[in-house]
Amino acid sequence: MRRCVIIGGAEIARYDEVKSYLRAGDYAIYCDSGLRHREALGLAPDLIIGDFDSHPDPHLPVETITLPCEKDDTDTVYAVKEALKRGFGDFLLIGVVGGRFDHSLGNVSILLYLDSLGKRGMIVDDYSEMEIVSRQAAEVGPEFPYFSLLNISGTARGITLENAKYPLTDAEICCDYQYGVSNEPLPGKTARIRLKEGRLLLIRVRSE
């Protein structure tokens, strides 16, 4: 199954960092002003979606879905739902965080939505990658100098964190006390994360 890459209009400064996550055969959906990244990413669109309030419709010979400006779903959320209808289960979202915090937070919530459906989702920006930890264990390799575990959905319990500067055993993290910020894998080790209940947002930081 091909992976679906969704490109939003948030700023991307380190294109080489972001492009390193792209794979041959990715299915690319550009959302409205995400089209401004098309040339720098070197990724041809398979589908264009948007209300074109922030970027003109380029009228490319590519399937295009034009949305109304007034709607419940943002262009990015609509793109995710459309890709789900088309059978995609693995998602990479780029250009979706940064700038307006409301859009950024809404787009991070897409990871929760995908996780609730048993789908895989990752957000990549200039400095980090983000994904949800829930049913399966997760790892942070020594190539990442820092990582954070944040709770953005209820309370996570039974958290075990090994091979990290600040380990955890049968711990819990709730939304109103985020003490899992800026941890580090032990030198040369791979940190491992498991939890028994709930979900956590794992942010692996590549550079500052």
Q: Quick one: pLDDT band at residue 208, thresholds 50, 70, 90?
A: confident
- What are the pLDDT digits (tens) for 54-88? 777 888 899 999 988 777 888 999 999 999 999 99
CATH numbers and ranges of domains, the chain: 4-126 (3.40.50.10240), 133-205 (2.60.120.320)
- What are the pLDDT digits (tens) for 83-123? 999 999 999 999 999 888 998 999 999 999 999 999 999 99
d(CA 49, CA 31): 5
- What are the pLDDT digits (tens) for 118-175? 999 999 999 999 999 998 899 999 999 999 999 998 899 999 999 999 999 999 999 9
Burial (CB count <10 Å: 0-12, 13-18, 19+), residue 30: buried
